Structure 1
Amino acid sequence: MYSKHTEIFGILGFPLGHTLSPWIHNTLFQLSGYDAVYLVFENERWKEIGIGPLRDLGVKGVSVTIPFKEWAYTQADKVCESSKTMLASNTLLLRSEVEAVNTDGSGALFSILQNNPDLLDPNESKKILILGSGGSAKGILFSIAKELETNRKQQSFQRKVQILARNQSAISEIEQSLGNPAWLERTTKEDAIKNKEDYDLVIHTTPIGMKGVGGEPILDSNFFTKKHTLFDIVYNPLETNLVQIAKQKKAAIIPGYHMLLFQGIKQFELFTNTKVKQKWIRKVESILLHELKKRK
């Protein structure tokens, strides 16, 4: 039941027929007893429409997805450090001032830490391999950088992060946005395969493997071993070809939908100023899994 006190939130983007965000947020509103509803604001003309109509409607905040994350960043009076670095935001808080936040990187970071905190220990000598150089890679790298910086015990990091991507200019942008850190390096497919024992975590950030997106996986079965952990942020399908290849070689897997789950949880906490309980996370995760399995 909704009343005049019910707060309105939603997701802004195009297309949105696939979105699972309403399942996350409306379930959390129900579990927490927070009087709110989360709607789908699907339109390909948000850049022309602007956020004025949303504010007139009384919307308190929105998740923002492709292709409007860069535009959302430009609409804010205040921006978080992650948004400023990435020049993109996936969350707008529509208060007296418009605040832009990016929770993509923190969602990925939490997914990794939940699985195995050692994978982000800056004092470990193993390397992290990032596949891709788009917006997701940028956000994840920003959060990894903050985590490494916070937990290092020495002057410089032992752990290195390498990027494997075709777009060298995009890699340059990432390097510059992070201040050209010494721990961030480039690599090639040939070198990555040759030095596969050097890595313990592989993070795939490209759309390859997503439902409806073609292309061969960047790495093949010659790369993976049981000493690797693969985090493929694609969540539809639940298992991409890359995940299946890695599983056959007994590599550990971090499910792609965990990033969707944890970035959404962070958004909910920003929207409502309510701390999410572990039992709520388990409930939302079970619902997400159920919905994803239905979409096979």
Structure 2
Amino acid sequence: MYSKHTELFGILGYPLGHTLSPWIHNTLFQLSGYDGVYLVFENKRWNEIGLRPLLELGVRGVSVTIPFKEWAYSQANIVCKASQTMGSSNTLLFREGIEAVNTDGTGAVRSILEANPDLLDPNQEKQILVLGSGGSAKGIIFSIAESLQKKAKLGKIQRKVKILARNEFATKEILNSLGNPEWLGVTTNEKSLEEAENYDLVIHTTPVGMKGFGGKPILNSDFFTKKHTLFDIVYNPLETDLVKQAKKKKAEIIPGYHMLLYQGIRQFELFTNIQTKQKWIRKVESLLLKQLKNRN
């Protein structure tokens, strides 16, 4: 049921034929009793059209996906620190002006913390291996940095984060954007394999393994043991080849769709100023998993 008081939200991007965001947000509106509806704004020319049509329609906020995250950031007059550091945003709020927020990294960090808080304990000497240096890697590493800094005793982070990526320029960009902290560094495939026992968490951020996307994983499958946890942020298919290889070695797995779930929950909270209840999260996760299984 919609009325003249119903608030409009949506997702902005192209293509959007397979987006699952409406399932997340419209379910949360229903469960919370919030008078809102979440629509799909699909167009390949948003950077030419601009935001005026949405503002005139009275839209209150949008999720932003590829290829418009950098453009979305440039449209805002208020930006969060994560957006500023990354130069991209996945959320726009239309309030007093246009506010840009990035919830990708916070969604990833929450996925990890829900699985095992020790994996982001800054006082442990185990290391985190991040595969890739694109926008997702940047956002996740920024949020990991925030999480580690908050919990570090005497401000000293023992836990190291290493980036394994093919794009050296993008890797240097991540290091520079975070001020080249001593806990953040770069590694190679060979070196990471030699030092495999030093790592307890591997985060795969590249599109390799995604449905319709070819290529080989950066990391050698011999890396994994039962002492590792793999978080592959690809969620379609539900299990990538990398995940299957890690499972064979008895590694723990954090499902990729958890990042989609938790970044969407954070967006819902920003849209509505409502704190999400645990029972709502369980309901949305169940629906999300059902949808993904139907599509696999």
Matches within 5 A, 1:39-118: 39-118=39-118
Q: Residue 217 of structure 2 aligns with which residue?
A: 217
Q: Could you list the per-position Cα deviations for residues 243-268 of structure 1 after superposition, in whole angstroms to 9, with x for gaps in the alignment?
A: 00000000000000000000000000
Q: Could you list the per-position Cα deviations for residues 120-170 of structure 1 after superposition, in whole angstroms to 9, with x for gaps in the alignment?
A: 011101000000000000000000001111101144211100000010000
Q: Residue 131 of structure 1 aligns with which residue?
A: 131
The one-letter amino acid paired with 2:251 is A
Residue 179 of structure 1 aligns to a residue whose secondary structure is coil
**What TM-score comes out, normalization by structure 2 length?**
0.99
CA distance in 2, matches of 1:220, 1:165: 13
Decide whether the 8 Å contact of 1:86 with 1:135 is kept in 2: yes
Residue 226 of structure 1 aligns to a residue whose secondary structure is coil
Residue 118 of structure 1 deviates from its aligned partner by 0.4
Structure 2: which 5+ residue stretches go unaligned?
none
Residue 216 of structure 1 aligns to a residue whose secondary structure is coil
Decide whether the 8 Å contact of 2:88 with 2:102 is kept in 1: yes
Moved over 4 A (4+): none
Residue 99 of structure 1 aligns to a residue whose secondary structure is strand
Q: Could you list the per-position Cα deviations for residues 256-292 of structure 1 after superposition, in whole angstroms to 9, with x for gaps in the alignment?
A: 0000000000000000001100000000000000000
CA distance in 2, matches of 1:202, 1:57: 43
CA distance in 1, matches of 2:191, 2:93: 43
Residue 105 of structure 2 aligns to a residue whose secondary structure is helix
Percent identical residues: 73
1:196 has 2:184 as partner:
no
Residue 113 of structure 1 aligns to a residue whose secondary structure is helix
Matches within 5 A, 1:242-281: 242-281=242-281
Q: Residue 179 of structure 1 aligns with which residue?
A: 179
Q: Residue 8 of structure 1 aligns with which residue?
A: 8
The one-letter amino acid paired with 2:26 is N
Residue 218 of structure 1 deviates from its aligned partner by 1.9
Q: Residue 28 of structure 2 aligns with which residue?
A: 28
Residue 95 of structure 1 deviates from its aligned partner by 1.2
Q: CA RMSD in A?
A: 0.6
CA distance in 1, matches of 2:134, 2:216: 18
The one-letter amino acid paired with 2:133 is S
Decide whether the 8 Å contact of 1:221 with 1:249 is kept in 2: no
Q: Could you list the per-position Cα deviations for residues 174-232 of structure 1 after superposition, in whole angstroms to 9, with x for gaps in the alignment?
A: 01110111100100000001110010000000000000000112223311000000000
Decide whether the 8 Å contact of 1:220 with 1:242 is kept in 2: no
CA distance in 2, matches of 1:246, 1:220: 10
Q: Residue 233 of structure 2 aligns with which residue?
A: 233
**What TM-score comes out, normalization by structure 1 length?**
0.99
Decide whether the 8 Å contact of 2:149 with 2:155 is kept in 1: no
Which moved further from structure 2: 98-107 or 213-222? 213-222
CA distance in 2, matches of 1:150, 1:289: 32
1:164 has 2:159 as partner:
no
CA distance in 2, matches of 1:144, 1:9: 29
Decide whether the 8 Å contact of 1:220 with 1:245 is kept in 2: no
Q: Residue 288 of structure 2 aligns with which residue?
A: 288
CA distance in 1, matches of 2:22, 2:165: 33
1:122 has 2:122 as partner:
yes
CA distance in 1, matches of 2:256, 2:247: 14
CA distance in 1, matches of 2:155, 2:147: 15
Residue 221 of structure 2 aligns to a residue whose secondary structure is coil
The count of aligned residue pairs is 296
